[in-house]
């Protein structure tokens, strides 16, 4: 049967984007199933796939894995990934720590700047807490890029880059790039230019166009 990835709307679902990029970066063939979040039966469909009832969900030969960080670990355990965790033990621990911090923190940025690939880049009045989140993310991502020399967070493209892709979209769409380092601005431009990420953004835009046509 192969890999089957259940995701939400490409316009909004940052968690889905992470898992989707992990598969695309590593050229793992998979079947994509998109469930429109907040549609009439979406919650039951997700619960049928996994008891947590949230996207993304990866199904692999009868094994169902929910949560993007769990999916990252599962893929690294089960598949030879050319773009997985860093090979160096210290870098690998560091990359996992950064992903875990993003996974459980920075709530002000998430709430005030939700991922929206269809939003035209424009500033928004943000709280001190949200701006502090941006400052903290800028600090540790810039440190990574300066230490490794790039072009990605730990040199080569990897799972950690997929994990921070939604953050970079937020920096772009909410006109926050002027508040981060030149290194992070350049890294954001490189990531947003990747064909895989452009494919996702374009699909998210098409979702918007279909919705607008339906409302006419």
pLDDT digits (tens, 9 = 90+) for 27-53: 999 999 988 776 777 778 777 767 666
pLDDT at 92 over 60: yes
How confident is the model at residue 215, as a pLDDT? 39
Q: Give residue limits of the domains in the chain.
A: 3-82, 89-196
What does CATH list as the number for 3-82?
3.40.30.10
147 Cβ contact list (under 8 Å, min separation 6) = none
Neighbours of 123 (CB within 10 A): 9
Beta strands in 28-149 (DSSP E): 30-34, 57-60, 63-66
pLDDT at 210 over 80: no
- pLDDT band, very low/low/confident/very high, at 216 (cuts 50, 70, 90): very low
Full-model pTM: 0.92
| Average confidence (pLDDT) over 84-109 | 96
Angle between helices 14-25 and 159-173 (to 10 degrees): 130
Lowest-confidence region among 26-30, 34-38, 166-170, 177-181 = 34-38
pLDDT digits (tens, 9 = 90+) for 116-145: 999 999 999 999 999 999 999 999 999 999
Average pLDDT, the chain: 91
Q: Which fold has domain 89-196?
A: Glutathione S-transferase Yfyf (Class Pi); Chain A, domain 2 (1.20.1050)
Beta strands in 26-184 (DSSP E): 30-34, 57-60, 63-66
How confident is the model at residue 50, as a pLDDT? 75
Q: What is the edge-to-edge ordering of all strands in the sheet holding 30-34?
A: 30-34, 3-7, 57-60, 63-66
The DSSP letter of residue 66 is E
pLDDT at 85 over 90: yes
- pLDDT band, very low/low/confident/very high, at 213 (cuts 50, 70, 90): very low
């Amino acid at each position: 049967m192969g890999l089957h990835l259940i995701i939400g709307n490409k316009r909004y679902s940052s968690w889905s984007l992470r898992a989707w990029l992990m598969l695309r970066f590593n050229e793992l063939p998979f079947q994509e199933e998109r469930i429109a979040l907040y549609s009439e039966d979406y919650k039951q469909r997700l619960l049928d796939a996994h008891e947590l009832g949230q996207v993304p969900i990866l199904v692999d030969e009868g094994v169902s894995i929910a949560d993007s960080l769990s999916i990252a670990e599962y893929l690294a355990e089960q598949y030879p990934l050319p773009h997985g965790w860093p090979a160096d033990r210290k870098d690998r621990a560091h990359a996992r720590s950064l992903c875990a911090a993003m996974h459980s923190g920075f709530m002000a940025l998430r709430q005030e700047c939700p991922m929206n690939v269809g939003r035209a880049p424009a500033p928004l009045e943000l709280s001190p807490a949200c701006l502090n989140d941006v400052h903290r993310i800028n600090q540790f991502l810039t440190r990574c890029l300066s230490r490794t020399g790039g072009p990605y967070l730990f040199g080569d493209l990897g799972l950690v880059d997929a994990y921070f892709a939604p953050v970079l979209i937020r920096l772009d769409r909410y006109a926050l790039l002027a508040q981060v380092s030149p290194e992070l601005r350049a890294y954001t431009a490189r990531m947003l230019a990747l064909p895989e990420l452009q494919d996702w953004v374009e699909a998210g835009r098409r979702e918007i166009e279909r919705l607008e046509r339906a409302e006419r």
